[in-house]
Chains A and B, each alone.
Chain A
Amino acid sequence: EIVLTQSPDFQSVTPKEKVTIICRASQSIGSSLHWYQQKPDQSPKLLIKYASQSFSGVPSRFSGSGSGTDFTLTINSLEAEDAATYYCHQTSNLRRTFGQGTKVEIK
C-alpha cells in the first residue's frame, strides 16, 4: 500500500495569506497525485489532477506541483471560502489511498 503523509495536519491562516500543504508518498507515484477540498457536511471536490493540472472551474489561486514522492498544494491569497480540509490522493497503485487531510482554518 502506498502511504500518503500530509503536513501540516492543521493550519490557521489570515485572509490573503499564502497556504502551502505538502503530501509525501511512501514510494514514487509519478504524477498520479490529485488534490481535493472538503467543506463540512459536503462531498469532496476535485481541485488539482495529475499533480499540477487545475480541474475545470477551480479558481486560479489553487495550484499544485511535484512528482515522484513530494507534492505541494498552494493556495495563493487565501479567501474566507477556502476554509476546508484538503486531501491528497494517489491513483498510481491499483489500491488507491488518501492522505490524512489538512484542515485550513481562517483566523
Chain B
Amino acid sequence: EVQLVESGGGLIQPGGSLRLSCAASGFTVSTNYMSWVRQAPGKGLEWVSVIYSGGTTYYADSVKGRFTISRDNSKNTLYLQMNSLRVEDTAVYYCARESYYDYYAMDFWGQGTTVTVSS
C-alpha cells in the first residue's frame, strides 16, 4: 500500500529555518517524480517544488533561493529544507507522488504538516 507521511512542521519565527520530511512506503521515492504542495489557511493549493527521478529540481518563484528539495534514497524519504521563512510561508505542506503512468498527476498525497511562521 502506498503511503506518504509528512513531519517536521511547527511554529517558527520569521527568518528561521525548518526541514520537512516525507516518509514513503509502498513505492520507491528515487524512481518517481515527487512534489511539495502547500495550502495557506483558507486558500487554494500552491505548487512549491518538484524533484525528478534523475535528481533535477524545480521551484516556484515564491520559494526559489530559499527552499531546497532533496531525498534520501536509503531512507526512502523526501525533504524540504526551508530557510529565510516568511509569514506568507504559513501553510499546510503536502508531499505528493507524481505518477509517470498517470501523466505526472499527483496520485498519492500525504496528510500534510502545518508550518506557522509568526513572531
Contacts and interface: CB of A to CB of B under 8 A. Distances in A.
Interface of A: 1, 31-32, 34, 36, 38, 43-46, 49-50, 53, 55, 85, 87, 89, 91, 94-101
B90 interface: no
A97 B98 CA distance: 13
A55 to B, nearest CB: 7
A89 B112 contact: no
A49 B108 CA distance: 13
Given A91-B98, A96-B35, A98-B44, A1 B105 contact: no
Given A34-B103, A45-B109, A101-B45, 5 more contacts: A85-B44, A89-B47, A89-B105, A95-B60, A98-B47
Given A43-B110, A43-B111, A43-B112, A91 B45 contact: no
